[in-house]
A = this chain, B = another copy of it.
Amino acid sequence: MADAKDAQFVKDIADMTVDFPRWYTDVILKTQLVDYGPVKGTMVIRPYGYEIWERIQEELNKRFKATGHKNAYFPMFIPYSYLVKEAEHVEGFAPEVALVTHVGDVPLEEKLVVRPTSETIICSMYAKWVQSYRDLPVLINQWANVVRWEKTTRPFLRTSEFLWQEGHTLHRTEEEAREETLKMLEVYREFMQNVLAIDVLTGVKSEKEKFAGAEATYAMEAMMLDGKSLQAGTSHYLGQNFASAFEIKYLDKDGQLKNPYQTSWGVSTRLIGALIMAHGDQRGLKLPPRVAPIQVVIVPVAVHKEGVLERAAALKEELQNAGVRVELDDRDQSPGWKYNEWEMKGVPVRLELGPRDIENGQAVLVRRDTHEKFAAPLEGIAETVKETLDAVHENMFRMSHEFLHSHIVTCNDMDEMKDALDKQCFVKAMWCGDRRCEDKIKEQLQATSRVMPFDQTPVGHECVCCHKPADKVIYFAKSY
């Protein structure tokens, strides 16, 4: 019976090895993480998805505050004239901004941009707030919705409106600003590994791929199970570009008026897409324990037997008190049906509890990541559960790490590159630095440059594309 249901569940989800995009869509809709909004390209984040976001917010807020940042909130509407102040910035964003032109029937004097990112409006405020070197550094983060109208959309990965955080900092020196840029990249990397259990490649973007208006964009790239790369977060060194355009000036110790140096950095609800596509399997989601809305589900077996439900309820309370996010599934369904549902929903640990278990003073633990199944004494079970959750996390991270590093191929020419990409791998190669090579690779292989890693130990001497002398180590991949 359980097997039959199991087969059916699998049947309802497209085969991930055949049609990964449909597998993704099937999984996110069936597990009720998300739904399509009525306006093209928008999404509704349903409670099960939003709870993951709340965990992400909590974990990042801890890290942002520990590094001295405070949250604030800036208006969503930006005067159109602000967008055009930084030349590269407007070029990058103007075609995809949503514009408010009317209130009710009345046209506005100046059309308003719904923020695609907040550098411009935040700089206009910083120009008011910063006067003296004593006002520096400014270390502010914002949690907000932003809008970028995209042609091709997919829930979490690319939507017209999404939720994110954006840090915007000002510093007295270039050195300090550059340090901040790398510090926040490192905060993100540590978060990806220790919270989402995803390994990433970090490094600097090419000129072509950098943020519109930045001097340098650093990014982390995660490998999805189809071998595509997902840019999971960025940290920009903005130099004095915006500060100068918005006339942010401070009186330095030496009595001179100067522009401060600036950074911005952000991650978004895209991270939810990342953890689905980095960890899932044919049964559905596999949620990293540290952000899973439900870490443990208790499924009582033979619920009609006296004492089973009561014992299960007591177990739930015990785990709850120990700080575990736990749910007791006492619905009127067979255990097999429930096992399948909770596996699909990616709950990291299942606890089965039947009359015989209770007699033996034990419960049965089943891990979502390895399907490992073992009995554990009810005495001290909260400790066992917590250790198991940590073990699940460690194993999921190890899997992600191994998957990433076993799917990177060093290539010397375009043929090797094509071959590697066809095998759903990332390409590590030398690059001359010429944008025309990036364009050619994009055109011929549908791959883009991802990052140039900090470790620039050469893997050759010629550009993988034009074969001219090359001194840049870089990753190429197909990407989301």
Contact = CB atoms under 8 A, between A and B. Distances in A.
Interface of A: 35, 37-39, 42-47, 49-51, 53-54, 70-79, 82, 94-105, 111-112, 114, 121, 124-125, 128-129, 140, 144-145, 147, 149, 160-161, 163
Contacts of A163: 73
Contacts of A161: 75-77
A39 B98 contact: no
A438 to B, nearest CB: 25
17 contacts: A37-B125, A38-B78, A38-B79, A39-B75, A39-B112, A44-B125, A47-B71, A50-B71, A50-B72, A53-B73, A54-B71, A76-B145, A98-B100, A98-B112, A100-B101, A102-B111, A144-B145
Contacts of A140: 47
Q: How many copies does the complex hold?
A: 2
Contact of A71 (B39, B51, B79, B103): B51
Given A73-B45, A75-B39, A103 B112 contact: no
Nearest to A144: B145
Contact of A99 (B53, B77, B101): B101
Q: Which of A44, A82, A111 has the most CB of B within 10 A?
A: A44
A169 B163 CA distance: 23
A147 B37 CA distance: 19
Given A71-B50, A125-B35, A125-B44, A99 B100 contact: yes
Nearest to A102: B99
Ordered nearest first, which 5 A-B pairs have the shortest CB separation? Answer: A47-B70, A42-B75, A37-B75, A45-B73, A95-B104
Given A39-B112, A47-B140, A101-B101, 10 more contacts: A39-B75, A46-B72, A51-B70, A51-B71, A73-B163, A77-B147, A96-B104, A98-B100, A100-B114, A144-B145
A91 to B, nearest CB: 12
Given A125-B44, A140-B47, A74 B104 contact: no
A19 to B, nearest CB: 24
Given A44-B74, A121-B38, A125-B35, A104 B97 contact: yes
Contacts of A35: 125, 128-129
Contact of A47 (B38, B39, B72, B112): B72
A463 B265 CA distance: 61
A303 to B, nearest CB: 18
Contact of A72 (B44, B73, B94, B160): B44
Contacts of A46: 72
A189 to B, nearest CB: 26
Contacts of A97: 103-104
Contact of A101 (B39, B94, B102): B102
Contacts of A105: 95
Contacts of A100: 98-101, 114
Q: Which of A38, A104, A160 has the most CB of B within 10 A?
A: A38
B128 A79 contact: no
A73 B47 CA distance: 8
A141 to B, nearest CB: 9
Contacts of A42: 75, 77
Contact of A73 (B44, B74, B128): B44
